[in-house]
Amino acid sequence: MDFATLAAQLNAGTILPEGIVITTLLVVLVGDLIVGRSSNRWTPYVAIAGLLGAIVALYYQWDLSDPISFLGSFNSDALSIVFRGIIALSAAVTVLMSIRYVEQSGTSLAEFIVILMTATVGGMFLAGADELVTIYVALETLSISSYLLTGYMKRDPRSNEAALKYLLIGAASSAIFLYGVSLLYGLSGGETRLSVITTNIAANNVDQSIGVVIALVFVIAGIAFKIAAVPFHQWTPDVYEGSPTPVVAFLSVGSKAAGFVLAVRLLVSAFPLVSEQWHFVLTALALLSMILGNVVALAQTSMKRLLAYSSIGQAGFVMIGLIIGTEAGYASMIFYLLVYLFMNLGGFACVILFSLRTGTDEISEYSGLYQKDPLLTLALSICLLSLGGIPPLAGFFGKLYLFWAGWQAGAYWLVLVGLMTSVVSIYYYIRVVKMMVVKEADEMSESVKNYPASDWNLEGMRPLQVSLIVTLVATSLAGILSNPLFALANGSVEKTPLLQSSLNTAQTALVDQSVATSSTPAPL
């Protein structure tokens, strides 16, 4: 194989968006090295420009005729494009809200951005990885940069504790994941490409082996850790509470989206032989996540812990779309993640702003905020109500679509539990809103009494304001003007060969079943 044919076979144009992000990362890194501390004035904007450039490049890849590249390592289909867009967008918004925060904590900004962008690159590669080695390396890139980001405020013991916990639990779960993946490699007779694994397993007559089920369980353990599904969620509250808030924002959206796309790709393409089993396991995980996440959130006193448990519950909702596995199911899952991106990042932007101005994350300290900062109160209320699913905000339509798709597919129990736990979730979201809005002037908390006057002209506050307004507008309007998002979600499912083929086999299986039942003569 000579070089020219190899270069043509690699089809390397498909990773242009990741290339843009990596180039930007190097520009930020080298620029900061050369210019020094004063580079803080431009590096974040270069990073944001790079991430938005990556999204533009993704847009031009939408109609790619040949998405498979790097000899089967990478699959740039429509599904991966949507998820890479979600990850890059969440990173861009996170950079916007982290500028002031990182400056204020006295740590260097450029390294923070570099590590955040590496995490983004890892997540984006994970979204398109179509081969076991690439999946693992991309997963590790994402995880290790997440551990570093979690421990970035190294003078703060809470951040150290969070990083250590995240590292230990994360390393254990990734080892388990690797063991499951190695079983897949062995069972398929030494094959790493996802698309070939199933046929090889069937051809090798090991599809009845208990090994496939063990591989499935281990792989699900790794994925469930990434998306923080119960019972693999124990790290979430502590890590969310201890790590810097912008990092939490990225972990709860970008990292979670990467986990979901990994789940779709790995489970749908490598485990169709045990599809009943993985549906069963995921149903259990989704039920537990919805119930435990939303019920435990009721008792939280810290805003970051509240959002941690709420994100566990939200992961349970999103899993409904994955479990039912219909076209509407996948589309509703993507739609919900798109909406969740804006509302959750908006919520975290508000938490960051509040903690910058008052130095606390306690929920009780929010009381009476309405009288001092109406904009922050409005933005936080809208985002929380949208997370709870109050019409006409974006979250309502997201949940409506998810539950409708679930009901259509006959997953009645999942939808019923989802509905009940959303009612529970509305209670604790509204508790915060009530705390901010209803309290009289004499019931104000100490930190709100000492609330500083809003000064957006401080360095780094403008970007925070921009991220706040953008997410606020997106959260309030994405529900009513949701057609482009619907079209995007539906289009990505329609244009993804992997999902289409799995839908077709599910349909033919259904038809076979109905034919079999109708042709069997009824016993007399």
Summarize as ranges the residues that interact with other proteins (CB under 8 A): 1, 6, 10, 15, 22, 29, 70-74, 100-101, 104-108, 111, 114-115, 118, 121-122, 125, 131, 133-134, 136-138, 140-141, 144-145, 148, 151-159, 186-187, 189-190, 204-206, 209-211, 214, 244, 355-361, 452, 455, 458
Q: How far apart, in whole angstroms, are the C-alpha atoms of residue 148 and residue 164?
A: 10
Token output for 275: 């599809």
Binning the chain into helix, strand and coil, the percentages to the nearest 5 are 80, 0, 20
Looking at the Cβ atoms of 359 and 410, the one nearer to other proteins is 359
Which single residue is written with the structure tokens 């044919």?
A: 5
Smallest gap, in angstroms, from Cβ of residue 69 to other proteins? 8
Closest to 334 in 3D by CA, of 321, 345, 347: 321
Smallest gap, in angstroms, from Cβ of residue 219 to other proteins? 15
Smallest gap, in angstroms, from Cβ of residue 371 to other proteins? 19
Smallest gap, in angstroms, from Cβ of residue 152 to other proteins? 7
Beta-bridge partners for 328:
none
Looking at the Cβ atoms of 151 and 313, the one nearer to other proteins is 151
Smallest gap, in angstroms, from Cβ of residue 322 to other proteins? 26
Looking at the Cβ atoms of 133 and 284, the one nearer to other proteins is 133
DSSP assignment string, 382-445: HHHHHHHT-TTSHHHHHHHHHHHHHHHTT-HHHHHHHHHHHHHHHHHHHHHHHHHHT--GGG--
Looking at the Cβ atoms of 251 and 415, the one nearer to other proteins is 251
Looking at the Cβ atoms of 116 and 415, the one nearer to other proteins is 116
Which single residue is written with the structure tokens 């209670």?
A: 427
Looking at the Cβ atoms of 104 and 371, the one nearer to other proteins is 104
Looking at the Cβ atoms of 342 and 354, the one nearer to other proteins is 354
Looking at the Cβ atoms of 122 and 272, the one nearer to other proteins is 122
Smallest gap, in angstroms, from Cβ of residue 19 to other proteins? 10
Q: How far apart, in whole angstroms, are the C-alpha atoms of residue 441 and residue 368?
A: 7
Q: How far apart, in whole angstroms, are the C-alpha atoms of residue 375 and residue 316?
A: 31
Smallest gap, in angstroms, from Cβ of residue 359 to other proteins? 3
Smallest gap, in angstroms, from Cβ of residue 312 to other proteins? 23
Smallest gap, in angstroms, from Cβ of residue 441 to other proteins? 23
Q: How far apart, in whole angstroms, are the C-alpha atoms of residue 58 and residue 378?
A: 33
- Burial of residue 328 (CB within 10 Å: 0-12, 13-18, 19+) is buried
Looking at the Cβ atoms of 305 and 399, the one nearer to other proteins is 305
Phi, psi of 469 (to 5 degrees): -65, -45
Helix (H) or strand (E) holding 64: none
Helix (H) or strand (E) holding 295: helix 275-297
Burial 240-249 (b: 16+ CB within 10 A, else e): bbbbbbbbbb
Looking at the Cβ atoms of 25 and 385, the one nearer to other proteins is 25
- Burial of residue 27 (CB within 10 Å: 0-12, 13-18, 19+) is middle
Where would I find the H helices in 298-411? Answer: 303-324, 327-358, 369-372, 374-388, 394-408
Smallest gap, in angstroms, from Cβ of residue 353 to other proteins? 10
Looking at the Cβ atoms of 148 and 270, the one nearer to other proteins is 148
Phi, psi of 208 (to 5 degrees): -90, 0
Smallest gap, in angstroms, from Cβ of residue 163 to other proteins? 9
User: How do 68-69 and 74-75 pair as beta strands?
Assistant: antiparallel
